[in-house]
A and B are shown apart, each in its own frame.
Chain A
């Protein structure tokens, strides 16, 4: 049944979209029906059974159920949501402008559904979900009012979500502490009495969550701010329903935290402060909607404080005042909307210059305002009587009760005065600005009913006894029978009421003289400033933190890992003692020659001022490494190192001519930390290499490769058989990496023009200046060397399986051949090697993967297949090597072609030209006119 009610409202929300489109604003009439239906259904069910529960599995693994429970308290709030909701929807049907109103009705009905789920939830997780759902509906309803509403909507969201997350923290704590998520079980759990600290923590979490939602000090600022929303939204969310979610939460958890000192202190203090702040602020406002917003804050303060008092009588007062407030505040808001709709202003000063011939509006506003002021015989009087009967019961020392009562009486006097301002300010018009006539009954009908209900229930409050009794019973967990009456005889509360009315009347009469006095009653800062300052502070702090790594300079991004590595090494030093001993000797005399060479090269590299010097000395390191690899017995690696070194040097030179001659120099204050970090990281690496190598015999895998490698693959070159037979997947990955690097070079240089070439300041009249003639030597040399390089490259490709060589080395030598062609050419244009390098890369990768796939014929991916062809031992590993070859050649050609020439759009895709298949384009005319002379 309860789920059916919830489902009805959800379906209403779904139906609101097409209805809002077809019927426009009139959809409100239709949508009000299911809300009223749900109200009737729920009332019938609860009256019939007392407490109704229903539960279906939702997330059984988390033990979270879609559990619903309707008792008196839930019913009270559910009625509030549905009846006021229906009234607002009917009102909206005439308040809104003509046209499609889908989004408004969808959000409003979704909000009603969320609110119903909130008050019916018997699972704390469902409670939290519904809580956040109301927050988001509220956010969207405020935000849809236009661009000026974005900031208020955002602030509302931030404040209420902050509270919502505290609620989540509370929910999780409760679920963990009690082992269940069932709300009714949590409240009756025994763990709360056993663990006061835990109870206190949860009490604070729940209280603060409720404070944000119900706009209590210090979170009250979002509510007046959110008045930018249209009146029906303000009425429903910010007067009757959403702000009551916090009140509901406090009432619901009231039995659990009754007696927890901090709960009472927090609620009473914040409630009293809020009541006074809100009432004072309302005294100063001229915009009726703002005035009502502060009045709402103030009234919610009364409610929170009285819940904080916590006696059964106090809870009765809370329940009755919730109801009274919902009735009169909804009516007031809607009638402010009527005034706004008809007169075009909500400002008291403007309205007082208008003659309002609006009898119904006048009567209803007066009725609602009297109820808010607490004048008999209205419901507001009854609720205020109960409030002031409850306040003296404040727990703690006797003076607290007196103090709270006195301060609240002051707030009530303020309330009386601003109610007077509403009525007299609005209706004592002098008519100098024209006459405003009564609105359509369709517009004032629903709010008038609410205002009249305040009167009817005030005259006959005993009608509410059953509802109030069951609600207070639920909120206090003890059987309570309330006896509401207009006349309780002469008692303290009546005296207080008389004082309030008397002083209030006197102040209202003198309200013109009062205005300059209250105008000064303002805080030196507004709470909005605090929210904005907090936001700005968070953003500033985030920017500061982000700046630590928010740089494109590689310095920092390299520095952090270097420091971390140093730290790791420092920690590792503590474990050095447990290392196994070094096996044999790990150094020979010859190594020291190399160490000295490499050290000299490295120091020179970091100290070099010009880029060419840096490249030359890096070459020293590279060639020394070649020699080192060779002396360590790694012929293949030495060859690869040598070739990569030379090709890198050639490519760096291609880049160098686009860069300034010298490096930019850093200030010492940046260099010194860099030196410290570098030395630290270097020492860390030395320690790691010293500690972690040379301390074991040959690995089992190496043993296998050395003894069984040749037998398994038929290849004597272990390095090459590992690369193409045993661990060919690595090689496939590497050749893809190279291919992708080629594609990346192409993509980068096609999409973005590189820096122009800085040309050197050369003597143009020198005999050396003519590039046609001065390249004769290299060109002649390349005639001889070219074929040799090609032969060498092929030889190394074919013999790789048995002797040093293989795909990588062969391709690097081929690449060196192309580099030779590039260097020998007399001009940049002629230097282009017209091979489709991207297609070569593609072919290389396809060959590699294809060879791998052939392996499935025998075993699995990348298994080489051996065969004898004409007595030659042949294997698919050779084809795989060919793939490596093509890919590497492709990337070298990409670098030469794209970096080695002027960037010109017309030539970018020239290698597509099918009429020009030659290796070297023989065009000798130079187009190098784009050169920029810089120095």
Chain B
């Protein structure tokens, strides 16, 4: 389990780093990209936490999150062009 803990810490740090980029991001595209990265970081955390706690519903959440999660990214891309397709 020590590996999982290390992975959690590493992804957590990655999340914090991408959060920093979101806060700092000189352009909005930087923020949107970092947001995308953070989202997948959190999916990773969900997976690792699920492994760590043997939660039976981890896969449900992972499947659904990955299935619809990129919609947020596409929406943000649309927002950057102010709705222009």
Contacts and interface: CB of A to CB of B under 8 A. Distances in A.
Contacts of B25: 613
Contacts of A590: 8, 49
Contact of A612 (B19, B31, B39, B42): B31
Interface stretch (A379-387, A490-498, A649-657): A649-657
B64 A819 contact: no
Interface in A753-768: 757-760, 762
Given A650-B71, A804-B57, A657 B82 contact: yes
Contacts of B51: none
Nearest to B65: A642
Contact of A617 (B22, B63, B69): B22
B69 to A, nearest CB: 7
B22 A646 contact: no
B64 A642 contact: yes
A792 B64 CA distance: 8
B82 A813 contact: no
A654 B83 CA distance: 7
Interface in A564-620: 590, 593, 596-597, 600-601, 603-604, 607, 610, 612-613, 615-617, 619-620
A792 B75 contact: no
Nearest to A616: B35
A804 B38 contact: no
Interface in A616-647: 616-617, 619-620, 623-624, 626-627, 630-631, 633, 635, 638-639, 642-643, 645-646
Q: Which of B22, B25, B31, B68 has the most CB of A within 10 A?
A: B68
Given A631-B49, A759-B83, A813-B67, A638 B75 contact: no
B65 A823 contact: no
B68 A813 contact: yes
B74 A778 contact: yes
Nearest to B33: A616
Given A596-B16, A649-B75, A650-B71, A774 B64 contact: no
A639 B68 CA distance: 11
Given A597-B19, A604-B23, A804-B57, A613 B31 contact: yes
B67 A789 contact: yes
A795 to B, nearest CB: 10
Nearest to B85: A771
B57 A760 contact: no
B69 A646 contact: yes
Nearest to A633: B55
B69 A620 contact: no
Of A630, A639, A778, most buried by chain B (CB within 10 Å of CB) is A630
B61 A639 contact: yes
A653 to B, nearest CB: 4
Interface in B41-59: 42, 45-46, 49-50, 53, 55, 57
Contacts of B57: 635, 803-804
A639 B85 CA distance: 29
A897 to B, nearest CB: 15
A631 B83 CA distance: 36
Q: Which of B50, B60, B78 has the most CB of A within 10 A?
A: B60
A816 B71 contact: yes
A604 B71 contact: no
Given A615-B79, A620-B35, A650 B85 contact: no
B77 to A, nearest CB: 9
Contact of A613 (B22, B72, B82): B22
A839 B9 CA distance: 49
A639 B72 contact: no
Interface in A456-473: none
A627 B49 contact: yes
A744 interface: no
Contacts of B20: 600
Contacts of B75: 649-650, 653, 819, 823
Given A596-B16, A604-B23, A619-B72, A613 B67 contact: no
A646 B46 contact: no
A813 B66 CA distance: 12
A620 B60 contact: no
Contact of A639 (B22, B39, B49, B60): B60
A177 B42 CA distance: 75
A852 interface: no
A775 interface: yes
A448 interface: no
A654 B80 CA distance: 12
Contact of B81 (A610, A620, A762, A805): A762
A627 B85 contact: no
Interface string A765-804: 0000001001100100000010011001000000000011
A538 B79 CA distance: 52
A789 B63 CA distance: 10
Contacts of B79: 612, 615, 653, 656-657
Contacts of B53: 631
Contact of B19 (A600, A661, A775): A600
Contacts of A615: 76, 79
A611 B55 CA distance: 37
B71 to A, nearest CB: 5
Contacts of A774: 85
A826 B85 contact: yes
B72 A620 contact: no
A760 B49 contact: no
A760 B71 contact: no
A638 B60 CA distance: 11
Interface in B12-45: 12, 15-16, 19-20, 22-23, 25, 28, 31-32, 34-35, 38-39, 42, 45
A200 to B, nearest CB: 72
A657 B83 contact: yes
A820 interface: yes
B22 A789 contact: no
A13 interface: no
Give the interface centre of A616, A627, A643, A809 by most chain B CB atoms within 10 Å: A616
A785 B67 contact: yes
A627 B42 contact: yes
Nearest to A611: B79
A828 to B, nearest CB: 8
A775 B78 CA distance: 11
A109 interface: no
A827 B23 CA distance: 32
Which of B35, B46, B53 has most chain A Cβ within 10 Å?
B35
A499 B66 CA distance: 111
A307 to B, nearest CB: 83
A694 B61 CA distance: 27
A809 B28 CA distance: 31
A611 to B, nearest CB: 8
Nearest to B69: A646
Given A612-B76, A643-B68, A620 B8 contact: no
A55 to B, nearest CB: 80
Contacts of B28: 610, 612-613
Contacts of B8: 590, 593
Nearest to B57: A635
Centre residue among A603, A646, A661 by max chain B CB count within 10 A: A646
B39 A623 contact: yes
A653 B78 CA distance: 7
A120 to B, nearest CB: 79
In the A-B complex, the 4 residue pairs with the closest CB atoms = A657-B83, A771-B85, A635-B57, A760-B82
Given A627-B49, A635-B60, A657-B82, 17 more contacts: A590-B49, A612-B79, A613-B25, A616-B34, A633-B55, A639-B60, A642-B69, A643-B68, A653-B83, A757-B82, A762-B81, A775-B85, A792-B64, A809-B64, A819-B75, A823-B71, A823-B74
Interface of B: 8, 12, 15-16, 19-20, 22-23, 25, 28, 31-32, 34-35, 38-39, 42, 45-46, 49-50, 53, 55, 57, 60-61, 63-65, 67-69, 71-72, 74-76, 78-85
8 contacts: A593-B15, A597-B16, A616-B31, A649-B76, A657-B83, A759-B82, A813-B67, A820-B71
